[in-house]
A and B are shown apart, each in its own frame.
Chain A
């Protein structure tokens, strides 16, 4: 390595402390490894918990049966850019007007939709369906770990691995990242430290080291294992200080937990902490009653959702060439509107993929139709793309994960082909 490249790397920002000799040794090695291997590919996985109505998110406005099945909650046909109508994508599908912020990404060829996507399992339980989508083993509950954790654990890491290969924003570590990859859960980047308070003496080892020692020893169990990972991560994050990075390129995240999560994921990516998989979830999709149409309950959730994704894309700018954002939800909702201007638990839904590596501007998957005989169990949108086909493609072709451990027992059908 030449002095020149070292200087430019350090100048590049986050790891200035490497040059000052203040960073932990593993951090220096990670930095060097990254310089050799190039920046890691990043997958940002977003779970819409509660089962988003795919038919409202990506509207099949060219299918007359859609309007026949839905009275008050249908999204109006596109009307040449008129507000509060479907934003047309390809003449048949369109985005909910609350997702208008994503239209430029579609036109730019970086946003793809996979419609009628879902699980081969028929459960309509949120709990089970989320569990299956995260374990990656529909119908099998005994799987101990999550598919993202399995995939990443089997992917060669930059040597030595960063403690931030996998991060979930939120207080609890989700099922999808449980496993041998040592994923980190954090409520916020800023709070991810031991708060020693003003009384801490300068230069003293501090109470943090005391806590670290307490969790250093001891047998391998949940508490001690978690403790060790925690302190490794705290040190690295202190050195990289991602919280100092304000949103770039004028990106404006929506207020609330989801926007905050995405803003901090962008900070972690920009601070080069070795992030490969980030996870965030967003709730409020279980619209059994008063779902609304172009406006209302679901529209408000979608506005936050789309606004967050668009802000992340803008914030990361050119870095999006290394990033794929993948959205998922445990199932869709009934095709027919129920008696409370809402929808009940259904089957297939729509998922989005966004990023430089995505062959966007296209809706993937076969449209199964909405005629009564075409519906799953006579009521729901049928699944034509197994979620495992989509996830396999993103994990293998973008992250470089081996297909084997991702979805045990799954004989991969044809991949959708949306990753370049």
Chain B
């Protein structure tokens, strides 16, 4: 596995004039393996220089496909070989011109993605309390309620379509790094779909506050999430007012409102400075004061951001020692964000978290230091920090290779990708059921991390200890069995095609083909030995009682074992 040591190469690709690649013409229901990359417009001027690596050239490509994306599909290795690894990384870091036809075809089946919160409130209304009462008291039969409230118009559809779309994109998208970063940043700025009105705001939140900025400037991400109704609702800031406000009108007229610290605290602890970032309870109160009045215009109707100057605390505030003078308005919150994103604690916190996601659970301090310096030098350019990480010797080191254990989302997406699985289309005509995305989203949930349903503001943990345990491991094996046997409705694999050309009466050859297809030959000697021994099992080889000669190999079982192996749990 270390045979590339002598031949370590430094690749210098100046993209000006280099051959880049757009999406292959096919994807989605059409297998993409073997598709020919088309020429794509080339961007000038940027240089990706990859350092020497002890990994072989193919290992380096697999490493990139596993870290920048959700693992290789059939043909990806060859494709990156042709276009060059540096060019691949370059395109992933700047995917704006990268065509994504498979995703473009798949997403219309999930119409909530394009809707505003206001539209969703109208299309997927909350059942009125009267209806619930009438149902409970027997005045209305369940049948009538189902007619009035057909399943495809219920609010749960919004989350279900979002979940299906996310895993669909992870499987199909050419913009793999972008999808990985959407997962990363959504989790960083987590909102919980099941908290009150958040559900209706969820599609807009990901579309407007997360996706446009995943490779952009960190400050823009913080500002976009801070202003977004989903975050304002999830962390209660929309309710926070100056301490002495008496509500002037409406149902709460005459009541004293007041400060809510929830968002202020999580903004510092989770979004910017980190829990050890050197802020005090006093800072929490001061930041909360700055954000008073950042609210939502009628959240139950899906309204947008509104600044309520009456609710704003116009007094002087002091945040981390910096004075925000009295008399300010909405810009007080923006000034807080400007202060926070430029703190060394923030720079280090974000650099560490990115290095942990892309390199290892305990990233090398020297790399974190350089990534932090890049963050500071570029005023928080996420693309630049990633460039520092992807061009670091640490990223390409033997220690980092296959050192990360896949998250539930990663294991599901990578398994479907490696077998070139097909996702059946969903759509309103099918009531949103039976589609591959929904089937896979259910598997991700079973493995312990349902998409958009992390309740705490921390999101899901970013270290493997949290998701590797007995129950979750069994879940992974059962997922492997379900996928290989085509038991997941809507997400199917064509194993006969994977082993096409191999004599199924020769189990060893079938195994070899699967090891190449799924693990790219990166199986430990122990795993190889165990799997070979399995070939003796009558279950795998389907021997007949008469002649003890293998008639057929149970490819499904063998594939499940390979997908459930320790090696496939790593990336």
Question: Quick one: CB contact mask for B468-486 with A, threshold 8 Å, 1 for yes?
Answer: 1111111101100110010
Residue among B256, B475, B527, B539 making CB contact with A339, cutoff 8 Å: B256
Is there contact, CB below 8 Å, between B566 and A218?
A: yes
Q: Are A288 and B260 in contact (CB under 8 A)?
A: yes
Please pick, from B236, B240, B465, B481, the residue contacting A207 in the complex, using a CB distance under 8 A: B481
B533 within 8 A of A: yes
The interface residues of chain A lying within 8 Å CB-to-CB of B516 are none
Contacts of B236 in A (CB 8 A): 288-289, 340, 342
- Which of the candidate stretches B128-136, B141-149, B161-169, B556-564 sits at the interface with the other chain? B556-564
Residues of A within 8 A of B470 (CB): 173, 184-186, 192, 226, 229-230, 233
Give the segment of B74-82, B172-180, B261-269 that binds chain A.
B261-269
One digit per residue, 1 when the CB lies within 8 angstroms of any chain A CB and 0 when it does not, for chain B 255-289 equals 01111111001000110000100000100100000
What 1/0 mask marks residues of chain B from 199 to 222 whose CB sits below 8 Å from any chain A CB? 000000000000000000000000
Number of A residues, CB within 8 Å of B: 59
The answer, among A127, A194, A206, A226, for a CB contact under 8 Å with B468, is: A226
Complex CA distance for A230 and B566, rounded to whole angstroms: 13
Cβ B275 vs Cβ A230 within 8 A: no
Q: Are B239 and A199 in contact, with the CB atoms below 8 A?
A: no
Contacting pair B566 A192 (CB below 8 A) = no
The listed residue (A185, A215, A338) touching B471 by CB distance below 8 A is: A185
A207–B537 Cα distance when bound, in Å, is 9
Interface residue tally for chain B (C-beta within 8 Å): 67
Q: Are A186 and B265 in contact (CB under 8 A)?
A: no
Q: Are A215 and B566 in contact (CB under 8 A)?
A: yes
Interface residues of A in 289-346 (CB under 8 A from B): 289, 338-340, 342, 344-345
Q: A125-B269, A191-B474 are in contact. Are A207 and B539 (CB under 8 A)?
A: yes
Known: A124-B281, A344-B262. A171 touches B533 (CB 8 A): no
Q: Is B405 close to A, CB under 8 A?
A: yes
Q: Which of B351-394 contact A (CB under 8 A)?
A: none
Q: Collect the chain B residues with CB atoms within 8 Å of residue A50's CB.
A: 456
Residues of B within 8 A of A283 (CB): 455-456
Q: Does B56 contact A (CB under 8 A)?
A: no
CB pair B258–A187 under 8 Å, yes or no, is no
Q: Using known A-B contacts A223-B569, A340-B260, A344-B262, determine if residue A194 contacts B478 with beta carbons closer than 8 Å.
A: yes
List B contacts of A184 (CB < 8 A).
469-471
8 Å CB contact of A344 from B261, B465, B540, B569: B261
4 interchain residue pairs of minimum CB distance: A339-B258, A171-B448, A339-B257, A185-B469
Interface residue ranges, B against A (CB under 8 Å): 236, 239-241, 243, 245, 256-262, 265, 269-270, 275, 281, 284, 405, 446-449, 455-458, 461, 464-475, 477-478, 481-482, 485, 487, 524, 526-527, 529-531, 533-534, 537-540, 557, 560-561, 564-566, 569-570
Supply 16 further A-B pairs (C-beta < 8 A) apart from A127-B458, A339-B245: A124-B265, A126-B456, A126-B457, A126-B458, A172-B448, A173-B469, A173-B470, A210-B530, A210-B537, A213-B534, A217-B526, A217-B529, A222-B468, A338-B260, A339-B258, A339-B260
A interface, CB within 8 angstroms of B:
49-50, 124-128, 170-173, 178, 184-187, 191-197, 199-201, 204-207, 210-211, 213-218, 222-224, 226-227, 229-230, 233-234, 283-284, 286, 288-289, 338-340, 342, 344-345, 377
29 A–B contact pairs at CB < 8 A?
A127-B458, A172-B461, A185-B469, A185-B472, A187-B448, A191-B471, A192-B474, A193-B474, A197-B481, A210-B557, A211-B477, A215-B473, A217-B526, A222-B464, A222-B465, A222-B468, A223-B569, A226-B470, A227-B473, A229-B470, A283-B456, A286-B262, A289-B236, A289-B239, A339-B240, A340-B257, A344-B261, A344-B262, A345-B265
